[in-house]
Structure 1
Amino acid sequence: MSVAWQQQVFALDARYNAHRAKGSPNFRTLYIRRRNQLLREFGSGKDSNLCRQYLKIRGSLLQSRYGSSFDQISLRRLSTRTSPESNQCNDWMGSFTKDIEDSTSHYSIDDLSPSNPRHTTIHENYAFVGVHHIFDQHTAAVTMLKFANNDRARLCCISNDSTLSICNLLSQPPTLECILKGHTAPVTGCDWSMSNDLLVSSSLDGQLCVWDTSSHKCIRAIRGTTRLLSCLFHPVNNNVVIAGNINGHVEVVNISTGIKHSSSMGGRVLSMAFESSGVNLWAGNDQGYLMLFRYDMNSGKLTKFRRIFLGEQVPISSINWRAWISRETRDPSLLVNLASNSLRLYRVTDKGLELKKNFKVKHSPFFNIKSTFCPIMSFRKGACIVTGSEDSCVYFLDVESDSDSKAVVNKLQGHSSPVLSVSFNYDESLLSTSDNQGLVIVWTRTNKQSSDLT
């Protein structure tokens, strides 16, 4: 009850946070972080009726101060019962306010050792409810997040406001490193080069932009006439970028020469994922088709190898490939988001794909929801994936669970609009999530677990 209630209060405050101190975004970020911290430190052990009463009163105060035009949570849904002990509730609210004023504690990032014996259950391993930082530098939906390779600190965010941003999460405090401006339409994809010295982005303006991540300058802009929907660096040769466009073509682009080779799969190419060898490329379109391409290292051309139909007119918004996902599941796996309320985990075989799990996640064709494998789950018992959802929640799902009812390991409720993208840093110390209103939340584990690891 306590964790769910704390997240309901946090979600309510997050819905109104954009209205606070509009000229001081740093204050808004500090406020919402401190609210979350205090809820975890002082919100446990409270009477459930008082919690509901507090939530109702808190919602009424925020609504009266900021109005109800913002997309807010229903107070009736949050508070199905009220307590007659209003005086006791007011006393508790007063002490809670004092806790806010007196608090001087700070957040820290914990290091997770995969072999730590004190983290014995998958629920403990993925108890991400603490907020490390909140970014709101974008004025439109943040549609993709991506941490740099083998880097705990640097996070790239792309947005429908035509910009990208790079955030540094380990600076004190976490900072917005830069905003990259060069596109003239929504940015649709991004990827870090293997050494993180370059960043590539695609956009509906038809441009592929290659950015120097040190100088924050666009060092190469490859212009086209066709709107681009996705992009990837080749995992072995970072002079090669793969881009998917609105006309159903997957293009291989040499960023030094600008020379392109393309292969058609039809529809609109929404998502792509390379296998680690750089030979096999998976691509998904808005018609429900997955295409497996073979990349020739010598010629730089793609060859169609296998076409797999997943569902009529079902957009494939995200693809992730992993060589193996747990000690019990050592086969190559593909994680696929389908805009038909479905998140599917496939086993990759010589004959094609074998469905292993199908999770129900709220996801319609109006949004391109993304998911991810947890990066170091193969060292632990069990295996976990994380996905966004249109219900404004982030779900941690155990792929080894016996039933769908037991699959949800953790549920985060800090966003107030559909969660579009999720991304872990390489050691799982931080999880970033973004939503349709442009908010980026960086989550860390609970204080209890952080103290266990020190």
Structure 2
Amino acid sequence: MAGVCQQVLALDAKYNAYRTPNNPQFRTLYIRRRSQLLRENAKKESDPSTRKEYLRLRAQLLNSRYGSPAFSDQGRSFSLRSISRNTAESYDSLAPFGPSDGRSRHRRHTSSGSLKHLYEGPMKRVYDSIEVVPTSAAEASRAMAGGKTVSENYAFAGMHHIFDQHSAAVTSVKFANDDKTRVACSSLDGTLSICQVIPPPATVICMLKGHKAGVTDFVWSLSNDVLLSGSKDSTARLWDVAAGTCMRVIQDSSGGEINCCIFQPLNNNMFVIGNSRSMVQMMNMSTGKGYKGGSSKISGQVLSMAFDSTGRILWAGDDRGSIFSFLVDIASGKLTKARRIVVCDGQAITSITARAWLSREARDPLLLVNCCLNSLCLFKIVGDDGALQLKKTFPIKQKSSHIKSIFCPLMSFRMGACVISGSEDMCVYFFDVTKDSKTCVNKLLGHSAPVLDVCFNCDESLLASCDEQGMVIIWKREGKQAQL
């Protein structure tokens, strides 16, 4: 059964270069989703003949849709030498189909033009002819990845634009999903703004007004048509992005200030809010009401939250130095408390970001955490219940400010894997998580107040950072052209 599933996945990868040729990121996500579906279906089906028939029919459909690929079949092996970097890398990222350790298992071609003995058993047949070394055909992936070293990848040529439309600290800045042109900001002046950064000149599209107190956090919906915001006025609001109007006001049931909010990644009709009265609450966007069994209390004010990529694990960090993991029933919205991890007793957890797979050098599922102890912490996710194991820390300045950090969005064959964080010393820091020493690969100077949040657009051509004085800087990356 596993062998047939591998053939299905390899067949899809074979045609992947033909799907949306101008959007290599979509092709990567497509293969990852296909692998997930194959794994789920493999658990349910016991008859391999069903999957073999499916493989035959899918091959016919793909051939009729895209035509015969330039590379031909060789028996039951597939020659994927023209596959892009972003596609090829997804094999190694998807357990149990890829290697689980950090060692590189590919080899150069032999004289016969194929790779030998990449994997044992049924894996060998599928991967016999796969070349995961980037080729000249991987131009889109090569262009997105940038230079060959981490320092080259994250060298910046200067400032693209500076926004100063907010009169108080900008608490969060986020580019729209898979969109390199729009960025939104939330501020303690009680407003949110949506800005267009390319093509120049950069402009403020609209200001979202309605909250009666500072806006602490916000998030884009998956389709970018809705913004969800949380505020110190004890309300969460849903905003129509196109119209620039408030669609719904949700009053916090316990009367606490809302410190953080997040959409459920697989069902944006669900969202979660965390408040100053230690409550984590799963809400329904359509009704504005909470789910039965969808609330839980933790030890302190809820300051930060993150879902894993499946939406089945939720982490919440509080102002007392603990991270709580919850198991989420996506059908019913029920939360079940699973784990408590003490990062540093008494020190606030201001940011949590989850990433399933970062690069070839950093394959473990990871959690990036900002804690008020002058360190950025990287945790390895070690259990299905959200258990964590500290992997390493990076030095930043953070004792009291609510600073956030991110993983760099692109996954590629380039060397290194980076995370970015703001800092109270008014700098933006880039750290390579694969290094054991000299981890800081870049530092951006330009803010005149503590940097609270950072965010890349989808192709990493622009980086946004915001600070406690209300300034937002859009940085342009060297060698990347910010064009539509």
Q: Is TM-score (shorter-chain normalized) higher than 0.5?
A: yes
Which residue of structure 1 aligns with residue 256 of structure 2? Answer: 226
Task: Say whether the 8 Å CA contact 1:425–1:431 is kept in structure 2.
Answer: yes
Q: Aligned equivalents of 2:346 and 2:140: distance in 1?
A: 41
Q: Please state whether the residue corresponding to 1:239 is helix, strand or coil.
A: strand
The answer for unaligned runs of 5 or more in structure 2 is 1-138
Which residue of structure 2 aligns with residue 397 of structure 1? Answer: 431
- 1:300-333 CA distance string (max 9 Å, x none): 1111011111111010000010001110221100
Residue 379 and residue 148 in structure 1: after superposition, are their counterparts in 2 closer, same or farther (change >3 A)? farther
Which residue of structure 2 aligns with residue 320 of structure 1? Answer: 353
Q: Aligned equivalents of 2:345 and 2:168: distance in 1?
A: 30
Which residue of structure 2 aligns with residue 387 of structure 1? Answer: 421
Runs of 4+ in 1 over 3 A off after TM superposition: 111-118
Q: Aligned equivalents of 1:230 and 1:323: distance in 2?
A: 22
Which residue of structure 2 aligns with residue 364 of structure 1? Answer: 399
Task: Say whether the 8 Å CA contact 1:273–1:319 is kept in structure 2.
Answer: yes
Note if 1:273 corresponds to 2:303.
Answer: no
Residue 417 and residue 301 in structure 1: after superposition, are their counterparts in 2 closer, same or farther (change >3 A)? same
Q: CA deviation at 1:116?
A: 6.8
Q: Aligned equivalents of 2:434 and 2:361: distance in 1?
A: 9
Letter in 2 for 1:339: C
- 1:155-180 CA distance string (max 9 Å, x none): 11000100000111113311101110
Letter in 2 for 1:321: A
Q: CA deviation at 1:115?
A: 5.5
Q: 2:339 aligns with which of 275, 299, 306?
A: 306
What does 1:54-453 correspond to in 2, within 5 Å? 113-114=141-142, 119-224=147-252, 225-260=255-290, 261-350=294-383, 352-365=387-400, 367-403=401-437, 406-446=438-478, 449-450=479-480
Task: Say whether the 8 Å CA contact 1:164–1:180 is kept in structure 2.
Answer: yes
Q: Aligned equivalents of 1:450 and 1:223: distance in 2?
A: 43
Which residue of structure 1 aligns with residue 128 of structure 2? Answer: none
Q: CA deviation at 1:130?
A: 1.4
Which residue of structure 2 aligns with residue 30 of structure 1? Answer: none
Residue 401 and residue 302 in structure 1: after superposition, are their counterparts in 2 closer, same or farther (change >3 A)? same
Residue 169 and residue 265 in structure 1: after superposition, are their counterparts in 2 closer, same or farther (change >3 A)? same
Q: Aligned equivalents of 1:116 and 1:210: distance in 2?
A: 33
Letter in 2 for 1:157: C
Residue 118 and residue 209 in structure 1: after superposition, are their counterparts in 2 closer, same or farther (change >3 A)? closer
Residue 175 and residue 116 in structure 1: after superposition, are their counterparts in 2 closer, same or farther (change >3 A)? closer
What does 1:17-32 correspond to in 2, within 5 Å? none
Residue 398 and residue 227 in structure 1: after superposition, are their counterparts in 2 closer, same or farther (change >3 A)? same
Give the alignment's Cα RMSD to 1 decimal: 1.8
Q: CA deviation at 1:118?
A: 6.9
Q: CA deviation at 1:431?
A: 0.2
Residue 216 and residue 120 in structure 1: after superposition, are their counterparts in 2 closer, same or farther (change >3 A)? same
Residue 113 and residue 173 in structure 1: after superposition, are their counterparts in 2 closer, same or farther (change >3 A)? farther
User: Larger RCO: Structure 1 or Structure 2 (Cα < 8 Å, ≥ 6 residues apart)?
Assistant: 1
Q: Aligned equivalents of 1:217 and 1:323: distance in 2?
A: 35
Q: Please state whether the residue corresponding to 1:171 is helix, strand or coil.
A: coil
The alignment of Structure 1 onto Structure 2 pairs a total of residues equal to 337
Q: Aligned equivalents of 1:116 and 1:268: distance in 2?
A: 40
Identity of aligned residues (%): 52
Which residue of structure 2 aligns with residue 73 of structure 1? Answer: none
Task: Say whether the 8 Å CA contact 1:114–1:376 is kept in structure 2.
Answer: no
Letter in 2 for 1:360: P
The answer for unaligned runs of 5 or more in structure 1 is 1-110
Q: Aligned equivalents of 1:284 and 1:450: distance in 2?
A: 36
- 1:207-253 CA distance string (max 9 Å, x none): 11000010010011112322110001111111111000001110111
Letter in 1 for 2:343: L
Q: Aligned equivalents of 2:359 and 2:445: distance in 1?
A: 27
Higher deviation after alignment, 255-264 or 385-394: 255-264
Q: Please state whether the residue corresponding to 1:298 is helix, strand or coil.
A: coil
- 1:401-427 CA distance string (max 9 Å, x none): 221xx1111111100110011001111
- 1:324-360 CA distance string (max 9 Å, x none): 1110221100000001101011111128222211111
Residue 430 and residue 270 in structure 1: after superposition, are their counterparts in 2 closer, same or farther (change >3 A)? same
Residue 250 and residue 377 in structure 1: after superposition, are their counterparts in 2 closer, same or farther (change >3 A)? same
Q: Aligned equivalents of 1:306 and 1:443: distance in 2?
A: 38
Task: Say whether the 8 Å CA contact 2:145–2:414 is kept in structure 1.
Answer: no
TM value normalised by structure 1: 0.72
Residue 450 and residue 262 in structure 1: after superposition, are their counterparts in 2 closer, same or farther (change >3 A)? closer
Task: Say whether the 8 Å CA contact 2:149–2:414 is kept in structure 1.
Answer: no
- 1:283-314 CA distance string (max 9 Å, x none): 10001110111111222111101111111101
Q: CA deviation at 1:181?
A: 0.3
Task: Say whether the 8 Å CA contact 2:409–2:460 is kept in structure 1.
Answer: yes
Q: Please state whether the residue corresponding to 1:124 is helix, strand or coil.
A: helix
Task: Say whether the 8 Å CA contact 2:454–2:464 is kept in structure 1.
Answer: yes
Q: Please state whether the residue corresponding to 1:327 is helix, strand or coil.
A: coil
Q: Aligned equivalents of 2:448 and 2:456: distance in 1?
A: 21
Q: CA deviation at 1:117?
A: 8.5
Task: Say whether the 8 Å CA contact 1:324–1:378 is kept in structure 2.
Answer: no
Q: Aligned equivalents of 2:376 and 2:344: distance in 1?
A: 13
Task: Say whether the 8 Å CA contact 2:146–2:153 is kept in structure 1.
Answer: no
Q: Please state whether the residue corresponding to 2:310 is helix, strand or coil.
A: coil
